[in-house]
Amino acid sequence: MLKKTKFFVGIALLVQSFTFLIIFIVLLAKQKSLWKTFLIIGLAGGVAGTLLTYQALKEDKQFKAMMAAVDSLCDYDEDRDDDFEVMTDDTASEADFE
C-alpha cells in the first residue's frame, strides 16, 4: 500500500463512520428498523479507520526516526579541510597501455 494511502483511507472511514452514527441517531429517534445496521456499520468503520490511521502515523514516525538516524550517520563537518592526495604512477609509460 502506498505510504499516504493508508492514512487517507483511515480518515475517510472515520468520516463515513461519523456520518453513519448520525444516521443511526436519526433512525433510532424515528423508530425505523435499519438503525441496528447503521450502528454496526458505523462502529466497524470507526474501528477500521482508527486502526488504519494509527498504523499510518506509527509508520510515518518510525520512518522519520530512521531517516534522522541515517542523516546523523552521514553528517560531516563542513569546516573540516581534507586534503586528498591524487596518487599517480610515474613508472608507467604509454607503451604499457597499448
Instruction: Quote the crossing angle between the two packed helices 5-29 and 35-74, to the nearest 10°.
Output: 160
Please tell me which residue, 2 or 57, carries the higher pLDDT value: 57
How many Cα atoms sit within 13 Å of 76 on the Cβ side? 6
Confidence of residue 79 (pLDDT cuts 50, 70, 90): low
With DSSP H G I counted as helix, E B as strand and the rest as coil, what are the percentages for the chain, rounded to 5? 70, 0, 30
Give the predicted TM-score (pTM) of the model: 0.63
Q: What are the tens digits of pLDDT across the range 37-77?
A: 999 999 999 999 999 999 998 988 888 888 888 877 776 65
Confidence at residue 48, expressed as pLDDT on a 0 to 100 scale: 94
Residue 94 pLDDT grade (very low, low, confident, very high; cuts 50, 70, 90): confident
**pLDDT tens digits, 7-18:** 899 999 999 999
Q: Is 30 helix (H, G, I), strand (E, B) or coil?
A: coil
pLDDT attached to residue 51: 94
Reply yes or no on whether the pLDDT at 80 is more than 60. no
